[in-house]
């Protein structure tokens, strides 16, 4: 596989690998709270209202991210006539993840050679965090594609400055700035910040700056502005200038100055999670990174280190932390791993590397255990599909660890990829859809006819809004009573802790209602059990 790198064959291999990784479970896993459901619902409301400028979740402005990903999700849902189906809103993430992998190979071959680039791109494709993001209707998979496009061209310029390779042409320079503009339109400053940190680090380390002159920054700023400015102007006019200010005050600054929405963690958080986030590729990425540090005078290694280290430190220092934040550094780490495997480097055979393989194996064992145990806790008990997922996880763990100990690293890589495909297919297609106790909104939706209006008290998860419709009323106990009075055929979802207040509100309003159903399970967004009662007006005697 890794020796056959001529022509279009690597692109076909990587495309098939990505489809095997990202398509299972795309339609069968219910909407996930909270970010995915918020994105999907806001995109759905664009289709409902025809307003593609303002970003709304119900009647609230969603000043979190620019409009780029919402447009892509809305276009996907409309193209496939699947406005009510979560898979249609997830498709742009599949496309983004696939593009990121193919671009990693396309640009990586100029940096590290075709075999190493193919191995690195394959490791990126199967990393746990990218597979997860490729299954969710969010920004990060498509953002990664923009990062790789920008960094790939930047790397080409750096290599030419070091006397290696051919200077990028005008189309590649244009692609650099288009990707920069799209990246800003998808997730604000992340793409330019990663590129700036990379370039600045290299300029300081090498004490040279002339290698950047071919990027044509004046023309580039015009191109990027032409992509971003029309929407920025339109949304500022539509919201009287409040959207951008609100985005800075309620999203950007809170992340920089404190832990937003209880997502704070100390520095070192991402380093601690890395073995799991990049699994199974982390087995090779850690030795690859150590090798690059030792040989950092080599141009390709120097560029990859400048891509990883400053950005990683920035993410570690920002108080707000979510696992996907460090994803923009993974393509460079994957290429470093590919270089080490292709060279059969001694770092992979070092004693500490073999010891790390034993520690890394714990991730595979944990995934296998979760695949077996989760259906008992959150589903209907034992599922044969759990064995399939667990077998894949063990294959992706035990065999690579064994081959690593024997020094057969390409065999270890092949086993890791094959096992990862089996594990992820089993988890996303077999295990997750059966965890009914996690997906409370899905169960509520299945219990009620589509035309029944719904209000909710104490359970305000966005997935309920996406599944039941924009008019779903997230309210308090008195509001639920008013809702039932005005919607005689409606149903109020009342969380157990809110039931006394709801019953008191019913008594105060002299309204008779009864519980007509119950859903209990685990609200993973809040990390606690949930007991939900479904209430409707009591029929007159």
* 8 A C-beta contact, residue 192 and residue 181: no
Cα-based distances in Å from 419 to 85, 378, 390, 405: 30, 25, 10, 18
**Quick check: 75 pLDDT over 80?**
yes
**Quick check: 62 pLDDT over 90?**
no
Nearest to 426 by CA among 378, 400, 394, 402: 394
Determine which helix (DSSP H) or strand (DSSP E) holds 533, and give its type and residue range.
strand 528-537
pLDDT tens digits along 203-231: 999 999 999 988 999 999 999 999 999 99
pLDDT tens digits along 255-278: 555 555 556 688 999 999 999 999
**Quick check: 372 pLDDT over 90?**
yes
* Bridge partners of residue 529, in order along the sequence: 522
Distance CA 381, CA 373 (A): 8
* 8 A C-beta contact, residue 301 and residue 333: no
Neighbours of 302 (CB within 10 A): 20
pLDDT tens digits along 176-210: 999 999 999 999 999 999 999 999 999 999 999 99
pLDDT tens digits along 453-508: 999 999 999 999 999 999 999 999 999 999 999 999 999 999 999 999 999 999 99
Give first-to-last CA distance, the chain, whole Å.
74
Q: Whole-prediction pTM value?
A: 0.95
Determine which helix (DSSP H) or strand (DSSP E) holds 75, and give its type and residue range.
helix 68-79
* Average pLDDT of the segment spanning 130-137: 98
Q: What local confidence, expressed as pLDDT, does residue 181 receive?
A: 98
**Letter string b/e over residues 67-93, b meaning 16 or more CB atoms within 10 A of that residue's CB:** bbbbbbbbbbbeeeeeeeebbbbbbbb
Distance CA 115, CA 101 (A): 14
**Quick check: 243 pLDDT over 90?**
no
Distance CA 467, CA 331 (A): 35
Neighbours of 112 (CB within 10 A): 25
Cβ neighbourhood burial of 258 (10 Å; 0-12, 13-18, 19+)? exposed
pLDDT tens digits along 349-361: 999 999 999 999 9
**Quick check: 99 pLDDT over 90?**
yes
Determine which helix (DSSP H) or strand (DSSP E) holds 514, and give its type and residue range.
strand 513-523
Provide the percentage of residues in the chain whose pLDDT is more than 90. Answer: 88
pLDDT tens digits along 279-318: 999 999 999 999 999 999 999 999 999 999 999 999 999 9
Is residue 24 helix, strand or coil?
coil
Distance CA 446, CA 30 (A): 11
């Amino acid at each position: 596989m890794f020796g056959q790198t001529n022509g279009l064959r690597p692109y076909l291999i990587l495309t098939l690998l990505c489809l095997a990784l990202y398509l299972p479970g795309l339609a069968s896993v219910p909407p996930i709270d909270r970010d995915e459901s918020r994105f999907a619902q806001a995109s759905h409301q664009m289709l409902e209202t025809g307003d593609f400028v303002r970003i709304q979740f119900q009647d609230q402005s969603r000043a979190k991210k620019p409009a780029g990903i919402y447009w892509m999700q809305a276009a996907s849902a409309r193209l496939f006539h699947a406005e009510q189906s979560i898979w249609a809103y997830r498709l742009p993430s599949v496309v983004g993840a696939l593009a990121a992998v193919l671009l990693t190979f396309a640009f990586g071959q100029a940096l590290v050679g075709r075999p190493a680039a193919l191995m690195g791109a394959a490791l990126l494709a199967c990393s746990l965090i990218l597979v997860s993001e490729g299954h969710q209707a969010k920004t990060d998979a498509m953002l990664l594609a923009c990062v790789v496009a920008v960094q790939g061209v930047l790397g080409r310029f750096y290599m030419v400055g070091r006397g290696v390779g051919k200077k990028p042409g005008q189309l590649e320079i244009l692609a650099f700035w288009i990707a920069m503009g799209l990246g800003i339109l998808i997730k604000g400053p992340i793409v330019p910040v990663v590129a700036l940190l990379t370039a600045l680090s290299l300029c300081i380390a090498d004490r040279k700056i002339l290698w950047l002159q071919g990027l044509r920054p004046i023309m580039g700023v015009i191109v990027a502005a032409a992509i971003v400015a029309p929407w920025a102007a339109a949304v500022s006019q539509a919201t009287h200038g409040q959207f951008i200010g609100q985005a800075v005050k309620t999203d950007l600054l809170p992340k920089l100055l404190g832990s937003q929405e209880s997502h704070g963690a100390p520095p070192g958080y991402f380093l601690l999670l890395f073995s799991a986030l990049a699994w199974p590729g982390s087995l090779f990425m850690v030795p690859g990174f150590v090798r690059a540090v030792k040989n950092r005078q080599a141009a390709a290694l120097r560029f990859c280190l400048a891509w990883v280290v400053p950005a990683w430190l920035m993410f570690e220092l920002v108080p707000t932390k979510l696992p996907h934040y460090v994803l923009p550094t993974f393509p460079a780490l994957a290429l470093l791993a590919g270089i080490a495997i292709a060279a059969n480097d001694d770092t992979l055979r070092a004693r500490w590397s073999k010891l790390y393989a034993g520690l890394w194996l714990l991730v595979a064992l944990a995934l296998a255990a979760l695949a077996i145990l989760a259906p008992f806790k959150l589903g209907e008990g034992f599922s044969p599909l759990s064995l399939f997922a667990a077998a894949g996880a063990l294959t992706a763990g035990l065999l690579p660890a064994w081959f690593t100990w024997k020094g057969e690293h390409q065999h270890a890589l092949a086993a890791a990829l094959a096992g990862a495909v089996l594990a992820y297919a089993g988890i996303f297609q077999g295990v997750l859809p059966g965890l009914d106790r996690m997906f409370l909104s899905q169960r509520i939706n299945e219990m009620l006819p589509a035309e029944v209006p719904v209000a909710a008290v104490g359970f305000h998860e966005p997935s309920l809004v996406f599944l039941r419709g924009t008019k779903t009323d997230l309210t308090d106990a008195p509001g639920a009573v008013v809702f039932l009075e005005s919607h005689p055929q409606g149903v109020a979802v009342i969380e157990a802790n809110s039931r006394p207040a709801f019953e008191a509100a019913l008594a105060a309003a002299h309204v008779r209602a009864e519980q007509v159903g119950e859903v209990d399970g685990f609200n993973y967004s809040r990390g606690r059990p949930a007991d939900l009662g479904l209430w409707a007006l009591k029929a007159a005697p």
